[in-house]
Structure 1
Amino acid sequence: MICPRCAASLKGKERAGRVCVRCRKRFALDPAVHGKGMHDLRVRGIAQRATDHGRLKITLTQLWYLSRSNNYAWAGRERKGVPARIRWLVALPVAVALLLSTVLVDGDLAFFAGAAAFLILVAASAMRHRPGVLPGSRIIPSEEMFRGLMTGAWPAAYGDLPAGVFDDARPLPRPRGAGPSRASAPVSRPRAVILCTDRVVSLFLTANDVPGELGAVLLEATGREGPAGHAALVAEALDRLAEYRSALPVVVLHDADPLGVLLAPLIRAAQPDRVVVDAGLPVSAARGGKGVVRLARPNRIADAEQLRTVAGLSEADARWLADGYWSPVAAVPPPLLLSIVERAVQRALTLPPPGPRQAHAHGFLTWPQAPQPPRARGTGRPGTGPSTKEGTSPA
């Protein structure tokens, strides 16, 4: 590998203990030990692009998503056939009984008993069993491994995390202008509300004082897994929104998952006088985009029919979510995510309150299907609905 300190080409024995034999300096990561892509120069370069060369602060979780070398997700599979142990537990005693009966009887009965025993053994050996598999996913390196290296080996080599990266497992760094007891500068008279269902994204926005710069207040509603997740998430969101007047527009920022795509439509139904802009990660981009982090849950949260009728998803997108797949909005490149939030808030501020005459007056924006440079603008296409649909592009 290339030494990240002196750029010398090092063999395995020349970098024992992650110390370069040429410059005698320590480095943090070794691809031969920690896996493909785990190299100081690569991770540092990813951090520089993600922080826009120090302009932004990003979380360690966001850096993990961007630094992944592989990502696998698989659908569930139902069990088919009978397990071999059960087959032979039934087939062998029956076959032995039939063979013993051939000794006790004569003629055709003995022939048929022997033939039946033979057929039972053939059938038992020919039957196949396919065990059931739950939906699942894997990111390489794992979050635990990556976080351990970046909070252990990296500071040991360089003194701290890469510039602009902070550990979201620790107290949030206070941005410029923030009060001594607040993580973000207070907004006395907010113009909009940003409702976020992802804690990592909430920390990212707060660390960069995005709500303060946009004149918005940031609310976090995470809900919980399981069948009751829908009601719990919506109830939590409505409870938090109840503190703010209905004239304030709401920008909903969520993962491409069943709980997220159902949240904005249900808020619109509960508060028809409020402008609601869906700025979550689009399911179509998560399902078909290149370089997207795709995950899968073992438990199904919603069925496809509900996702089609309530969230207005296509058949393919609804089925993808119903099968357990999802994609985190925290995996979107931070500069692009910031651009999308800014545009969504500005869009929400320009929309008049929904009403009978305006129910079909506003279009919705679709975002690029691939990452673009910071502040890049997407393309629009006409649509219907009382508010807009803005989504993030894949990571």
Structure 2
Amino acid sequence: MICPGCAASLTGKERTGRVCARCGKRFALDPAVHGTGMHDIRIRGIAERATDHGRLKITLTQLWYLSRTHNYAWAEQDPQGVPTGIRWLVALPVAVALLLCAVLTDNVPALVTGAGGCAVLVVASALRHRPGRPPRSQIIPSEETFRQLMTGAWSTAYGRLPKGVVDDARPVPRRRSASRSRASAPSSRPTAVILCTDRVAALFLTANDIPGRLGAVLLEAAGTEETAGRSDIVAEALKELAKYRSALPVVVLHDADPLGVLLAPLIRAAQPDRVVVDAGLPVSAARGKQGVVRLARHDRFADAEQLRTVAGLSGADAEWLADGFWSPIAAVPPRLLESIVVRAVERALAAPLPGPRDAHTNGFLTWPQAPQTPGARDTGRPGAGTSKKKGPRSV
């Protein structure tokens, strides 16, 4: 590997204990130990680009997404075959009965029943059972592993995290110009509301005082993974928005998931006099573009029909979400996320108040093409995952 300190090419013996034998400097990561792509030079470069060379603050979770080397997601698998216990519970009594008949009878009946009993045992032994599996996903390295490396080995070698990176497991510091209240507006009369359903994205906005610079108030509507918890998010979001006058436009920033795509339409339906701009990660971008983090989980918040009729998704996008796939907006490159929020607030402020017939017109913002993460290798077929329950697949 290349020494981050002196750029010398080091053999395994020359980097024992993660100390360069040439320059004597300590480094944090060794690809041979910590996995492909886990190298100080690569991680430092990703952090520099993500923070725009120190202009932005990003969270450790955002750096983890950007530093990933592989990303897999699998659809739900239905169980196949008969469970072993049930199979033998049926097969053994039948086989025993047939073999007893073979013992108690003579000639041809004995041969037939004996062969039948043996056949039952052979068939029961040959059958296989594969249990069902819920939708699942994997990012390499895992978040826990990456966080331990950065707060442990990296901080030991360099004394702190990369410049501009903050540990979101701890309270994220605000910029000095930011308000100290939960609502991050710079004054008592904000000009817009940013409603964010992702905790990490909300921390990123707060740390960089983006709502304050835009004259907006930030409302965080993140909750639990359970369906009931997500229903509470919608109710809580509507309750919080009701505290602000209807002339105040709302920008909805959300993951590409069922809750996210339904939130803006539900707000429009509940508050038709309010301008609502959907600035969330579009499902079409999450499903079809390279370099996008794709995850999977068991999600019954809404079915495909609801996603088509209420959120206005295409059939392919609705099926993709209904199959359990989703993508976090926190994985969007920070500079791109900042520009999207700025454009969305500007659009919301310029939009006229909706009439009774056009409350639905402020739809998805057009997202630019997200760049491929340097060094990341997303294996499999990008955009796959539109067919339901057809076994494992990489997306």
Q: CA deviation at 1:300?
A: 3.0
State the distance in 1 between where 2:225 and 2:158 align.
39
State the distance in 1 between where 2:322 and 2:348 align.
30
Instruction: Give percent identity, aligned residues only.
Output: 77
Unaligned runs of 5+ in 1: 374-395
**Alignment match, 1:251:** 251
SS at match of 2:163: coil
Asked if 1:371 is matched to 2:371, the reply is yes
Mean Cα deviation higher: 23-32 or 173-182: 173-182
Asked if 1:156 is matched to 2:165, the reply is no
SS at match of 1:340: helix
Contact 1:307/1:318 (<8 A) preserved: yes
Partner letter of residue 231 of structure 2? A
**Alignment match, 1:262:** 262
SS at match of 2:14: helix
Deviations 1:269-288 (A, max 9, x none): 00000000000001111111
Q: CA deviation at 1:224?
A: 2.7
Which fold has the larger relative contact order, with Cα–Cα distance below 8 Å and residues 6 or more apart in sequence?
2
Asked if 1:47 is matched to 2:47, the reply is yes
State the distance in 2 between where 1:253 and 1:215 align.
16
State the distance in 2 between where 1:329 and 1:120 align.
55
**Alignment match, 1:322:** 322
Asked if 1:189 is matched to 2:189, the reply is yes
Asked if 1:116 is matched to 2:116, the reply is yes
Deviations 1:153-192 (A, max 9, x none): 1121112111111111122213132467789573332110
Mean Cα deviation higher: 139-148 or 353-362: 353-362
State the distance in 2 between where 1:313 and 1:259 align.
13
State the distance in 2 between where 1:206 and 1:94 align.
69
Contact 1:293/1:331 (<8 A) preserved: yes
State the distance in 2 between where 1:183 and 1:147 align.
29
**Alignment match, 1:331:** 331
If the length of structure 2 is used for normalisation, what is the TM-score? 0.89
Distance change (3 Å), C-alpha of 1:134 and 1:359: closer
SS at match of 2:227: coil
SS at match of 2:176: coil
**Alignment match, 2:202:** 202
Contact 1:336/1:372 (<8 A) preserved: no
If the length of structure 1 is used for normalisation, what is the TM-score? 0.89
Distance change (3 Å), C-alpha of 1:208 and 1:116: same
Q: Tell me the C-alpha RMSD between the 2 structures.
A: 2.1
**Alignment match, 2:83:** 83
SS at match of 2:310: helix
**Alignment match, 2:376:** none
Contact 2:192/2:217 (<8 A) preserved: yes
Asked if 1:22 is matched to 2:27, the reply is no
Deviations 1:341-393 (A, max 9, x none): 000000011111111464577675422343399xxxxxxxxxxxxxxxxxxxx
Partner letter of residue 208 of structure 2? N
Distance change (3 Å), C-alpha of 1:242 and 1:167: same
Asked if 1:231 is matched to 2:197, the reply is no
Contact 1:177/1:185 (<8 A) preserved: no
Mean Cα deviation higher: 362-371 or 328-337: 362-371
Mean Cα deviation higher: 306-315 or 247-256: 306-315
**Alignment match, 2:62:** 62
Distance change (3 Å), C-alpha of 1:313 and 1:229: farther
